Amino acid sequence: MKERGGNPTGMSPAEPALRIFMRRLREIMADPSDGQSRLDKIVHLIAGLMVAEVCSIYLKRQDGSLELFATEGLNPGAVHNTFMKRGEGLVGRCAELAVTINEPDAQSHPAFSYRPETGEEVYHSFLAVPILRGGDVLGVLTVQNKTHKEYLDEDVEVLQTTAMVLAEHLVSGSVAGVNSGAEFSRSVGHVVRGQPLSDGLALGHVVLHEPRVVVTELTSNDPEEEQRRLEAAVEELKSSIDEMLEQGDLASAGEHREVLETYRMFAHDRGWLKRMNDAIRKGMTAQAAVERVQNDTRARMLRQSDAFWRDRLKDLDELSDRLLRILAGRPRSHAMAVQLPHDTILVARAMGPADLLDYDRSKIRGLVIEDSGGSSHVAIVAKALGIAAVGEARGVVERVDQGNPIIVDADSGEVHIRPTGEVIQAYGDKARFRARRQRKYRALRDKPTVSKDGQGIGLHINAGLLMDMPNLAASGAEGVGLFRTELQFMVSATMPRMERQTQMYREIVTEAKGKPVVFRTLDVGGDKALPYLRQPEEENPALGWRAIRLALDRPGLLRTQVRALLRATPGEDLRLLLPMVTTVGEVDMARAMIEREQELLRRRNLAAPKRVLVGAMIEVPSLLFELDSFMPRLDFLSVGSNDLLQYLFAADRNNTRVASRYDPLSVASLRALLTIVEAARRHGRPLSLCGEMAGRPLEAMALLGLGFRTISMAPASIGPVKSMILSLDVEALGSWLVEKVRTAEGNLRAELKRWAETNGVDI
Range in contact with ligand PEP (rule: CB under 6 A) among 554-562, 581-589, 638-646, 730-738 = 638-646
Residue 642 Cβ, how far from Mg ion at the closest point, in Å?
5
- Distance of closest approach, residue 691 Cβ to ligand PEP, in angstroms: 3
Report the alpha-carbon distance of residue 385 to residue 357 in Å, rounded: 10
For residue 151, how far is the Cα from the chain centroid?
A: 42
Beta strands of 414-507 (E only): which ranges?
A: 414-417, 458-463, 479-484
The β-bridge partners of 389 are 198, 367
Q: Is 640 in the site for ligand PEP (CB under 6 A)?
A: yes
- For 477, what's the count of Cα atoms within 13 Å in the CB-facing half-sphere? 32
The residue among 245 and 651 lying less far from Mg ion, judged by its C-beta, is 651
Cα–Cα distance, 465 to 476 (Å, whole number)? 18
Closest to 616 in 3D by CA, of 680, 660, 704: 680
CA 521 to chain centre: 27
In whole angstroms, the minimum distance from the beta carbon of 220 to Mg ion comes to 55
The closest alpha carbon to 706, from 650, 763, 663, 748, belongs to 748
**Smallest separation, CB 590 to Mg ion (Å):** 16
Amino acid at 762: D
The distance of closest approach from Cβ of residue 59 to Mg ion in the complex, given in angstroms and rounded to an integer, is: 49
Contact between 695 and ligand PEP per CB under 6 A: no
Q: Choose the binding region for ligand PEP from 95-103, 557-565, 634-642, 722-730 (rule: CB under 6 A).
A: 634-642
484 is a site residue for ligand PEP (CB under 6 A): yes
Specify the residue, 383 or 563, whose C-beta has the smaller distance to ligand PEP. Answer: 383
Nearer to Mg ion, 640 or 707 (CB): 640
β-bridge mates for residue 408, sequence order: 202, 415
Establish whether the linkage from the previous residue to 13 is cis, with ω within 30° of 0. yes
Q: Which does 535 bind (CB under 5 to 8 A by kind): Mg ion, ligand PEP, none?
A: none
- CB–CB of 729/736 below 8 Å? no
Q: Which is nearer to Mg ion, 157 or 643 (CB)?
A: 643
The site partner of 690 among Mg ion, ligand PEP, none (C-beta below 5 to 8 Å per kind) is ligand PEP
What CA–CA distance (Å, rounded) separates 446 from 603? 44
Instruction: Write the CA distances from 89 to 76, 85, 108, 128, 159, integer angstroms.
Output: 20, 8, 12, 11, 19
- The secondary structure of 666-732 as a DSSP string is BHHHHHHHHHHHHHHHHHT--EEE-SGGGGSHHHHHHHHHHT--EEEE-GGGHHHHHHHHHT--HHH
651 contact partners, CB below 8 Å, separation of at least 6: 645, 658, 659, 661, 662
Contact assessment for residue 138 and residue 69, using Cβ atoms and an 8 Å cutoff: no
Phi and psi, residue 89, nearest 5°? 65, -175
Render the burial of 504-518: b for 16+ CB within 10 Å, e for the rest.
Answer: bbbebbebbeebbbb
Strands 344-348 and 364-369: parallel
* Phi, psi (degrees; rounded to nearest 5) at 582: -115, -30
Q: Which is nearer to ligand PEP, 461 or 601 (CB)?
A: 461
- Residue 641 partner contact from ligand PEP, Mg ion, none using kind-dependent CB cut-offs of 5 to 8 Å: ligand PEP
699 part of the interface to ligand PEP, by CB under 6 A: no
Q: Is residue 642 part of the contact set for ligand PEP (CB under 6 A)? A: yes
* DSSP-derived secondary structure for 285-341: -HHHHHHHHHHHHHHHHHH---HHHHHHHHHHHHHHHHHHHHHTT--S--TTT----
Shortest Å, Cβ 36 to ligand PEP: 55
Query: What's the closest the beta carbon of residue 519 comes to ligand PEP, in angstroms?
Result: 13
| Closer residue to ligand PEP in complex, CB, 314/484 | 484
To the nearest whole angstrom, how small is the minimum distance from the Cβ of residue 506 to ligand PEP?
Answer: 23
Decide: 137 and 95 in contact? Cβ < 8 Å. Answer: yes
Task: Tell me if 542 sits within 8 A of 447, measured CB to CB.
Answer: no
Pick from 198, 287, 344, 641: which binds ligand PEP (CB under 6 A)? 641
User: Which residue in 174, 212, 726, 224 sits closest to 446, CA to CA?
Assistant: 726
Question: How many residues interact with ligand PEP (rule CB under 6 A)?
Answer: 10
Task: Please state whether beta strands 517-520 and 479-484 pair in parallel, antiparallel, or not at all (unpaired).
Answer: parallel
Q: Which is nearer to Mg ion, 468 or 619 (CB)?
A: 619
Residue closest to 389 by CA, chosen among 369, 405, 372, 374 = 369
Nearer to ligand PEP, 70 or 482 (CB): 482
Which of these is catalytic: 169, 377, 416, 460?
377
Three-class SS of residue 407?
strand
Member of 22, 43, 167, 690 binding ligand PEP (CB under 6 A): 690
Q: Is 468 a binder of ligand PEP (CB under 6 A)?
A: no
CB closer to ligand PEP out of 642 and 675: 642
- What is the radius of gyration, based on Cα positions, of the chain? 31
- Which residue in the set 691, 705, 715, 719 belongs to the binding site for ligand PEP (CB under 6 A)? 691
Distance CA 362, CA 201 (A): 16
Single out the segment in contact with ligand PEP by CB under 6 A; choices: 130-138, 310-318, 603-611, 635-643.
635-643
Q: Which does 484 bind (CB under 5 to 8 A by kind): Mg ion, ligand PEP, none?
A: ligand PEP
424-463 residues in contact with ligand PEP (CB under 6 A) are none
- Alpha-carbon gap, residue 204 to 387, rounded angstroms: 12
Using CB under 5 A, list all residues that contact Mg ion: 619, 640, 643
Which CB sits closer to ligand PEP, 91 or 472? 472
256 is catalytic: no
Q: Give alpha helix (H) positions in 174-253.
A: 223-246
Whole-number minimum distance, CB 643 to ligand PEP, in Å?
3
* Closest CB to Mg ion among residues 220, 462: 462
List of E strands, 28-171: 54-60, 66-72, 83-84, 101-103, 125-133, 136-145
Stretch that binds ligand PEP, among 12-20, 68-76, 194-202, 639-647 (CB under 6 A): 639-647
Closest contact distance (angstroms) between CB of 619 and Mg ion is 5
Residue 377 among the catalytic residues = yes
**Quick check: 619 binds ligand PEP (CB under 6 A)?**
yes
Determine the Cα–Cα distance for residues 292 and 286; give it in Å rounded to an integer: 10
Nearer to ligand PEP, 182 or 508 (CB): 508
Min CB(674)–ligand PEP separation in Å: 17
Stretch that binds ligand PEP, among 420-428, 492-500, 596-604, 641-649 (CB under 6 A): 641-649
Query: Segment near ligand PEP (CB under 6 A), from 264-272, 323-331, 343-351, 637-645?
Result: 637-645
| Residue span 500-539 as binding mask against ligand PEP, x where in contact by CB under 6 A, dash where not | -----------------------x----------------
From 640-648, 665-673, 676-684, 695-703, span contacting ligand PEP (CB under 6 A) = 640-648
- For residue 109, how far is the Cα from the chain centroid? 42
Q: Which is nearer to ligand PEP, 199 or 619 (CB)?
A: 619
* CA distances for 518 relative to 362, 484, 616, angstroms: 28, 9, 11
CB of 416 to Mg ion, least distance (A): 34
Cβ 616 to ligand PEP shortest distance, Å: 12
Which of the residues are catalytic?
377, 690
Binding residues vs ligand PEP (CB under 6 A)? 482, 484, 523, 619, 640-643, 690-691
